[in-house]
Amino acid sequence: MRSSIRRINSRNLVLMVFPILFAFNGIAQEGVGSGPSPAQTRTAFLRMIDRPRVSLAPLVKDVPNSEGLRQEYITYSSEKDQRVPGILLKPADHGRRPAVVVLHGTGGTKEGQLSLLNRLAVQGFVAVAIDGRYHGERKTGTGSAQYVAAMLETYHTGQGHPFLYDTVWDVLRLIDYLESRPDVDPARIAVIGFSKGGMETYLAAAVDPRIAVAVPMIGVQSFRWALDNDRWMSRVGTFQAAVDGAAKEAGLSKVDAAFVRSFYDRVAPGIYTRFDGPAMVPLITPRPLLVINGDADDRTPLPGVDECMTPAKLAYHKAAADEKLQVYIQQNTGHAVTPVALQVAVDWLVKWLKP
């Protein structure tokens, strides 16, 4: 497929702008109105991840901060037997402010986002990072053994969704908590995430209109495109041990795209079909959306990004919201976020949330 990407050099980045007249891919050719409606897709996703509601029961502890900011260690219940730990930073003064949720990538932790939290709080935001499922304080032991074991358990039983979906649920419950705080403006809540956190960002924003601004970084992709074009290996590499374990149990000596599809069907149902990027990203319309990827990122190949952004561009244009959608492609960059790209993201949050 010929790419519909037009590149413009800007601040050492490539700003990828999709013109109004562009080559439609398969999804765009179907046109808006074919297939499930946005409401049906949201309802189906929320039904899939739903679980019994429990009281948030938040606990807050003040933590010293050398930057003159107010820092808190928070926990809340997202479901029975699941306490979600987080770090929250904000200016020391009072009053309601916009909030930004920061989501880490595979192997990351909330503490790894402290630099960005400080940066956002200095800008005037209430900034909060949480540990994803089986990460940080939410895992036992070292390494990724528990994360892998959880995926294999889901593969066997169909219970739980440790890859992406469970953390999306935690984010939706975090927004419930932020809405209850007197220092947060509930109409100005954003989510920004990296890699795994970037995928969780666009999934959460697609189904929860309370997310006013979304910035998925090095996460937007089409799982279907990667499977169809034999480009799935790098993404699967982030949880390779789980896939290998499932393949071994199935008596396979080599993992191929067909087996990965069956693995996804059990562990993350719909991730390469009705809940894939091309279906979910357009659901964020017309809220401000900034997508940042690298031009040499094997985990989010540019043709797969294009698969997502073509229908998104169409949706934003039909909503007369073209200026609220931007895509930045970092030059000569793999699966990473450059300092310039991070500044672009912060500027986007400031522009639309006005702290």
CA–CA gap between residue 243 and residue 164 (Å, rounded): 15
pLDDT tens, position by position, 235-262: 999 999 999 999 999 999 899 999 999 9
Question: Which is nearest to 290 in space by CA: 189, 213, 221?
Answer: 213
* Residue 31, domain member (yes or no): yes
Domain assignment present for 76: yes
> Could you tell me which residue, 280 or 7, shows the higher pLDDT?
280
Helices 165-180 and 38-49 meet at what angle, rounded to 10?
A: 100
Secondary structure of 9-20 as H, E, C letters: EECCEEEEECCC
pLDDT above 70 (res 25)? no
Predicted TM-score (pTM) of the model is 0.90
Is residue 355 situated within a structural domain? no
Contact 142, 136 (CB under 8 A): no
Q: What pLDDT is attached to residue 347?
A: 98
Amino acid, single-letter form, for residue 188: R
Which distant-in-sequence residues (6+ apart) come within 8 Å of 26 by Cβ?
A: none
In this structure, what CATH number is given to the domain that contains residue 168?
Answer: 3.40.50.1820
**Predicted local distance difference test score (pLDDT) of residue 333:** 98
In a domain, 104, yes or no: yes
The residue among 21 and 246 whose pLDDT is bigger is 246
Say what the pLDDT of residue 9 is: 34
The DSSP call for residue 157 is: H
* Strand, helix or coil for residue 138: helix
Average pLDDT over residues 124-133: 98
Least confident interval from 58-67, 222-231, 336-345: 58-67
Q: Give the CA distances from residue 187 to residues 206, 254, 303, in Å, rounded to whole numbers and listed in that order.
A: 16, 49, 34
Helices assigned H by DSSP within the chain: 26-30, 38-49, 114-123, 145-157, 165-180, 196-207, 223-228, 233-236, 240-249, 257-267, 277-280, 302-318, 339-353
Kindly state the average pLDDT of the residues 327-340: 98
- Return the pLDDT at 23: 32
pLDDT at residue 192 greater than cutoff 60: yes
Condensed to tens digits (0 to 9), the pLDDT of residues 211-221 reads: 999 999 999 99
Residue 314 belongs to some domain of the structure: yes
The residue-averaged pLDDT of 307-324 equals 98
Query: Residue 343: which domain range?
Result: 6-350
Q: What is the mean pLDDT of residues 344-348?
A: 98
User: What is the pLDDT at residue 309?
Assistant: 98
φ, ψ for residue 88, nearest 5 deg: -125, 130
Asked whether the predicted pLDDT for residue 266 surpasses 90, the reply is yes
Q: How confident is the model at residue 225 (pLDDT cuts 50, 70, 90)?
A: very high
**Is the model's pLDDT at 5 over the cut of 70?**
no
Distance from C-alpha of 334 to C-alpha of 118, rounded to nearest angstrom = 26
Higher pLDDT, 84 or 27: 84
Residue 120 lies in a domain: yes
Q: What is the pLDDT of residue 142?
A: 81
**pLDDT band for position 34 (cuts 50, 70, 90):** low
Q: Give the mean pLDDT of the chain.
A: 91
Predicted confidence at residue 66, as pLDDT, reads: 79
Residue 97 domain flag = yes
Work out the average pLDDT over 200-210. 98
What count of other Cβ atoms lies within 10 Å of the Cβ of residue 73? Answer: 14
b/e map 94-107, b = 16+ CB within 10 Å:
eeebbbbbbbbbbe
Does any domain span residue 19? yes
Q: What would the pLDDT profile of 162-191 be if each residue is shown by its tens digit? A: 999 999 999 999 999 999 999 999 999 999
Mean local confidence (pLDDT), 306-314: 98
Q: Which residues pair with 73 in a beta bridge?
A: 61, 87
pLDDT at 33 > cutoff 80: no
Tokens of 160: 């739980």
What backbone torsions phi and psi does residue 254 show, to the nearest 5 degrees? -140, 135
Our count of domains for the chain comes to 1
Q: Output 14 or 73, whichever has higher pLDDT.
A: 73
